[in-house]
Amino acid sequence: MTDPAATQPASPVQVPEGGFRTFVHVLVNTAVANITTSFLWFGLTFWAYQETRNVIATGVIGGAYMLFIALFSMMFGTLVDRFRKKAVMLWATVIAFIVFTLDAAFFFAVGEGAMSDLTLPWFWIFAVVMLAGAVVEQLRNIALSTTVTLLVPVERHANANGLVGTVQGVSMLVTSVFSGLAIGFLGMGWTLIIGLAVMLLAMLHLASLRIVEREIVHVEGQTKWVDIRGGWIAVLAAPGLLALVLFSTINNFVGGVYMALMDPYGIDMFEVQGWGIWFAVASTGFIAGGAVVAATGLGRKPIRTMLALAAVIGLLGALFTIREWAWLYILGCWLYMAAIPAIEAAEQTVIQKVVPYQTQGRVFGFAMTFEAAAAPITSLLIAPLAELWIIPYMRADGEAQWAWLLGEGHNRGIALIFVFAGLFTTLIALVAFLTPQYRLLSARFAQSPDPDPAASPDPDPGAEVNAAEAEAGSPNARGTTE
């Protein structure tokens, strides 16, 4: 039997006066911090491939980054729920700054020549420490998603999430250009110095911001730093939400392919400086897609929007390297990136509405854990396969056999991988439309009351799970349970 308390509408959302303006400040500050992190991250990837011309190096770097995110996201989500959001974001930036500083000192102590030798341990130590700093900075992104609920009226959540996508696009554009130019003309050493200087400025600006936030009440009497059970319970409390997370996880298996191979394909085509500039051009797709969402929202059924766009980007992924034409690759990257903000905003908008504010940090952390874990599996698998088997095969006998589909060119091996990865993405998205979980979560989103940051903490998450399970087992849910 469903607990009546669980179905009562939440009290109206009370955002602080000037809350949206504060959110914009937080968003811009996070953008600067992300630009710095991405600048160093892109620089590491570009520098590694420029020095080694080895796909395995870029695949391992990308896979390790996502693996770190998967390992720490639940802890990050718990921290966001347990502490004030500004404190979480500020400490994340301070720790990342310290880690990057230590890594820069290590780089200069070893020397760039020895650092670029993959047979020595120095490169891998340098890369792992840098990725650790980049992952700590991801704590800010979880906190940022919860500040949408805290500072923005619910009717503008989709628009705010669209702004996040726009800012991500600007960040990627800026970092792509400057990372490529910095690595191409200045080298890794100056790239590290520039990144640290900008991060210090972002840290000082964040410390000066004032975010009105109510007292944090530690829900469920939690004392654990990694609340896996709380995240699991909070996800189950919204019927169909687990299916949404699982879909994003499966979709991210394909994301690992792009992580491992997109930069090598572009660098081989344009060289590192040129690829940095052209990737920036493609990144304007993020800005355009985010701007559209910020202006128009996602419609009444954001989950439908998400799945439809996922199917579309699968087709784009299958087509944008079908010929080794520079314009086709850049256009395909632009369209692919234009769809990403809407897909991410849809997931965030659903979570922000169907999950109580007091547990949103853990839910975002739970989702990021599973979604981020998928990409490194693919990346770490596909990079060695591409380097040792598929690329050599296509450069020998395979190119003639697949010329009817892929034409001729230097990187037909990577193109072949993109074709199959893209078609798999489209298939998964279309299958998701047919599942009862899709209908269940869509109905839940339409019927859910607005979340209230001012409300008291959720009393007993176990009661919410029981209510969710009862609803999922009712005739209206077509007998489906999570």
* pLDDT 10s digits, 2-31: 333 333 333 344 666 667 788 888 888 888
Mean pLDDT of the 186-190 span = 84
Q: Which two tokens stand for residue 175?
A: 């970092």
Residue 409 belongs to a domain with what CATH number?
Answer: 1.20.1250.20
Residue 286 belongs to domain spanning: 12-210+225-477
Mean pLDDT of the 49-53 span = 74
pLDDT in tens, 214-266: 555 444 444 455 556 666 777 777 777 777 777 776 667 677 787 778 888 98
% the chain with pLDDT above 90: 7
Residue 4 within a domain: no
Higher pLDDT, 11 or 403: 403
- Model pTM above 0.75: no
| Distance between CA atoms of residues 293 and 308, nearest Å | 15
Residue 194 within a domain: yes
Residue 274 within a domain: yes
Tell me how many domains the chain contains.
Answer: 1
Per-residue pLDDT at 375: 66
Mean pLDDT of the 111-124 span = 80
Q: Which two tokens stand for residue 162?
A: 């669209």
Residue 220 within a domain: no
Residue 167 within a domain: yes
| Distance between CA atoms of residues 183 and 222, nearest Å | 46
| Distance between CA atoms of residues 84 and 146, nearest Å | 11
Question: For the purposes of burial, counting CB atoms within 10 Å of the CB of 188, is it exposed (0-12), middle (13-18) or buried (19 or more)?
Answer: buried
Residue 300 within a domain: yes
- The answer to whether the CB of 162 falls within 8 A of the CB of 25 is no
Query: Across 235-249, 393-407, 459-473, which has the greatest mean pLDDT?
Result: 393-407
Residue 157: count other Cβ atoms within 10 Å of its Cβ.
Answer: 24
Residue 5 within a domain: no
Mean pLDDT of the 72-78 span = 75
For the chain, the residue count is 482
Residue 147 within a domain: yes
In terms of Cα–Cα distance, which of 271, 263, 266, 341 is closest to 41? Answer: 263
Q: Which two tokens stand for residue 173?
A: 């554009």
Per-residue pLDDT at 329: 93
pLDDT in tens, 320-338: 999 999 999 999 999 988 8
